[in-house]
Amino acid sequence: MRARKRFGQHFLTDSGVLSAIVAAIKPVESDHLLEIGPGHAALTELLYPEVGDMVAIEIDRDLIAMLRARFDRLRVVNEDVLAVDLDQVLGEQRWRLVGNLPYNISSPLLIKLYGHLAQIRDMHFMFQRELSQRLAAAPGTKDWGRLSVMTQYFCNVQPLFDVPPEAFDPPPQVFSQVIRLWPREERTPVDMALFADVLRMAFSARRKRLSNALKSLELPWDALETHDVLPSQRPDELGVEAYVRIANALDQPREKS
């Protein structure tokens, strides 16, 4: 079957890369494993015999019959992963997620998954290398941005290895990278709507001073400066906890004058 452009399909065919992904995951029989976008099942074929419980979410209905015929214990969900009810799929178990993700859904899917981390043990995904570098970026670098902050608030991030275009059929025009993410055990509580708004505003004006980028928020700069959050800084100089402090400062009741 040919890859479908509308689904962003690039099927992984390189046996060495497939084996390296399995070696990184180290699946065991007690694992609950969810594969997103199994495609022609090259990775599924290696993972399926190792685990006792496996689910695959596949949007392409032309692949469903093949998946069900080849893997009798595999639970196949024929839906768009961005639309699927993950609470229904995941239930009360803790899952290990894996997938060679279409580039066009990577960012929105990650944001969706961050809302289900209580049900996720770890994630091993293949992304476009540029996106992977953004997820693992450090403050003060060109790759540091909204998705970097959001990802590192929720997860630990570990890039594993690069994958060249020729490992796929058809080959994409870019390098890919396999990356491991797993939930952070401790996170400072924050209102996620405020947090997201602060990040959107800040990185929409990343070259400006923070006081200008966030001027409409009326921030208590005196209080923030005691935590080394300075109005003279640029948005891309601040780390995760600094943005959490800004959002939490907005969430505090204001004294009436």
182-229, pLDDT tens digit by residue?
999 999 999 999 999 999 999 999 999 999 999 999 899 999 999 999
* Residue 51, token pair as written in the block: 């685990």
Letter for the amino acid at 19?
S
Last residue of one domain, picked from the residues 159, 183, 207: 183
pLDDT of residue 251: 75
Residue 44 and residue 96 in one domain: yes
Given pLDDT bands bounded at 50, 70 and 90, which one contains residue 103? Answer: confident
Given pLDDT bands bounded at 50, 70 and 90, which one contains residue 101? Answer: confident
Residue 71 and residue 153 in one domain: yes
Letter for the amino acid at 67?
L
Is there a domain that residue 151 lies in? yes
Contact 129, 187 (CB under 8 A): no
Given pLDDT bands bounded at 50, 70 and 90, which one contains residue 253? Answer: low
pLDDT of residue 23: 98
pLDDT of residue 192: 95
Residue 114 and residue 233 in one domain: no
pLDDT of residue 7: 45
Structurally, the chain folds into a number of domains equal to 2
Q: For residue 255, is pLDDT > 70?
A: no
Residue 53 and residue 120 in one domain: yes
Task: Write out pLDDT tens, residues 149-194.
Answer: 999 999 999 999 999 999 998 888 899 999 999 999 999 999 999 9
Residue 132 and residue 223 in one domain: no
Is there a domain that residue 220 lies in? yes
CATH number, residue 83:
3.40.50.150
Range of the domain at 116: 5-183
Task: Write out pLDDT tens, residues 224-243.
Answer: 999 999 999 999 999 999 99
Is there a domain that residue 257 lies in? no
Mean pLDDT taken over the chain: 92
pLDDT of residue 4: 44
Residue 147 and residue 20 in one domain: yes
Residue 205 and residue 151 in one domain: no
Is there a domain that residue 34 lies in? yes
Is there a domain that residue 137 lies in? yes
Is there a domain that residue 255 lies in? no
Residue 211 and residue 156 in one domain: no
This model's pTM is above 0.85: yes
Residue 235 and residue 163 in one domain: no
Task: Write out pLDDT tens, residues 6-33.
Answer: 444 578 999 999 999 999 999 999 999 9
Residue 206 and residue 157 in one domain: no
Last residue of one domain, picked from the residues 144, 162, 183: 183
Residue 41 and residue 121 in one domain: yes
Residue 178 and residue 202 in one domain: no
Is there a domain that residue 63 lies in? yes
